[in-house]
Amino acid sequence: MDKASNQQIIEDMYKNYAAGNMSAVLSCFDKDIIWERPGAPFIPFSGSFKGIEEVTKMFAIQATTLSIKKFVPEKICTNEDTVVVFGDDEVDVVATGKTYSTDWVQSFTLKDGKIICVRVYLDTKAIADAFLT
């Protein structure tokens, strides 16, 4: 697919995420998706998730452990099969009541109209501190 189509897939995915339409979000991913998100081992949604089932579980864990106050994709850069999004968020951790704010970068690799790889870059210490009691 061309880079404009790939960017549109990512933009639509973010719109669906904001609307809470997780089935539409998940439909953007290839069945063999790889999602990599760094973080301390005690952060339940950190690590490598392989396959749509694991990514679905990761989103479910986020839904029960976090209360998202703000999640804003601010800038999108596209180059052939890669779409990189810069953004920021503010999130409450349910278990501790602590809030973290972080800037983030999400890199998406697409093939045949589906996301095959996601790599997330963000301030893992801020998130870890919010999970510690």
- What is the per-residue pLDDT across 11-48, written as a single tens digit (0 to 9) for each? 999 999 999 999 999 999 999 999 999 999 999 999 99
> CA 64, CA 73: separation in Å to the nearest integer?
22
The CATH number of whichever domain residue 22 belongs to comes to 3.10.450.50
Q: pLDDT value at position 133? A: 84
- Average pLDDT (77-101) is 97
- How many domains does the chain divide into? 1
Q: Name residue 108's amino acid.
A: F
This prediction has a pTM of 0.95
Which single residue is written with the structure tokens 């989103």?
59
Tell me: pLDDT of 127 over 80.
Answer: yes
Tell me: pLDDT of 83 over 80.
Answer: yes
Q: Return the SS3 of 131.
A: helix
Determine the structural domain holding residue 126 and report its residue range. 3-131
Burial of 92 (0-12, 13-18, 19+ CB in 10 A): middle
